[in-house]
Each structure stands twice: as structure tokens, then as C-alpha cells.
Amino acid sequence: MLHHYNTVKGYGENEINIERSRFIAHVNRVESEAEAQDFISDIKKKHWDASHNCSAYMIGETNLIQKANDDGEPSGTAGVPMLEVLKKRDLKDTIVVVTRYFGGIKLGAGGLIRAYGKATSEGLNATGIVERSLMRVMKTKIDYTWLGKVENEVRSSHYQLKDIHYLDAVEVEVYVEEASKENFVDWMTELTNGQGFIVEENIEYLEKPVKE
């Protein structure tokens, strides 16, 4: 599993108009080629009357799966420039389908390349990019009398609070980098005067928005 990588936040769409043609970018996160093909099929069914539904996607930790489809546009003028945008931004597990409704004015090869690239880029911006970082979840069980102090200290620290469970005792879950586990345990032990019961939980990805 990769420690850090960028991908899209989830589903999103954005429309631009160029020389009376409508270009609608549909963006999504996918983790397999089957998911990517299903997404393309769904968009084609939704926009069955469109002139073209061009697509590009990159999937896998090493971008092993890369596909581009011009869907009837001149070869290399749609899918490839869309894929190049994904490569330039190094976005993993990401698919973009750009639907075009022809407006009557031909754009030429260069114009199409710029249009599909722009539609893809602006579609990604509208959807949002996130950085996924592999983190260890550390759970600290404390008495309610410690809650105010622990919550305030965690929120003002460089650690990321995941959740607080209000049970018989309070359980505070915090995202911690694997290499910082021991430092976190020492910090939390000192913070609670040894009254906190600290356990390691699962490893999962923490997502944070990436500002473009």
C-alpha cells in the first residue's frame, strides 16, 4: 500500500462551452477497470444523445492501468489529452468522461485537444483533489474527567483527531503516522499522567484536501 498518493474526492461534474459545443466532464474515483467501464457505461446511457462520450482513466498504485478513448473524435484529440491531464497531476484511481454536444462549429485537431484538456482540468478542479495518507489509528480510553484536556491538546497538536466515543469511559481515536507511534504513546501517557489506556487499532487512509 502506498503511504501517500493523490486522487479525486469522489464524484463530480462540470460543464464548459467552447464555440457553441457543450463539454461536460464527469469525474469519479474507481479502484478497478470493471468499475471504470461501468462508470463509462452509465454516462453513455445518461447522455445517449451526445455527439461523443470520451474517456480516460488511471488505476493502480503504479498506474499500471491507463486507458484513453476518443469515442469517435479524430484519433488522439480527446482521450489522450484527457489522460495527459491525469498523468500531469499524478492522480491515481481516477476516471474522467467528457461528454460533448456538438454546437455546429468544427474546432480542428488543435482546438479539440485544448478543449478536452481544459474540460478535464476544470472538471477535476470542480470535483476536488485529496491526498490520502496511510495512518495508524491509536485509541486512548480515559475517564470523563480527562476529556476536556485531552481533546483540546489533540486538536491543537499536529495529530489528527478521528473520533470520540462516549461510552462507560471516553475513547479518543487519533490518526498517527506509523513512525510516530512511540512518540504518540509517550505524549499521551504524559498528558494523562499514565491514566490513559492506549491501544493500536487498524491502519487506514486519512484524506486531506489538496489546494491547487
Judge if 48 and 65 occupy the same domain.
Answer: yes
Q: Where residue 211 falls among pLDDT bands split at 50, 70, 90?
A: confident
CATH of the domain at 39: 3.30.230.30
Beta strand 94-101 with 52-59 is antiparallel
Average pLDDT across the chain, whole number: 97
Judge if 106 and 13 occupy the same domain.
Answer: yes
Pairwise CA distance, residues 88 & 82, whole Å: 10
Judge if 136 and 121 occupy the same domain.
Answer: no
Q: Where residue 120 falls among pLDDT bands split at 50, 70, 90?
A: very high
Judge if 118 and 160 occupy the same domain.
Answer: no
Residue 44 has pLDDT above 70, yes or no: yes
CATH of the domain at 193: 3.30.70.240
Judge if 37 and 65 occupy the same domain.
Answer: yes
What local confidence, expressed as pLDDT, does residue 101 receive?
98
CA distances 13 to 20, 27, 87, 167, 188, Å, are: 19, 6, 19, 41, 43
Judge if 105 and 141 occupy the same domain.
Answer: no
Pairwise CA distance, residues 97 & 41, whole Å: 10
Judge if 72 and 171 occupy the same domain.
Answer: no
Residue 212 has pLDDT above 70, yes or no: no
pLDDT, mean of residues 52-70? 97
- pLDDT tens digits for 64-81? 999 999 999 999 999 999
- pLDDT tens digits for 146-186? 999 999 999 999 999 999 999 999 999 999 999 999 999 99
Judge if 12 and 73 occupy the same domain.
Answer: yes
pLDDT, mean of residues 32-37? 98
Domain containing 160: what range? 131-210
pLDDT, mean of residues 38-60? 98
What is the tally of structural domains in the chain?
2
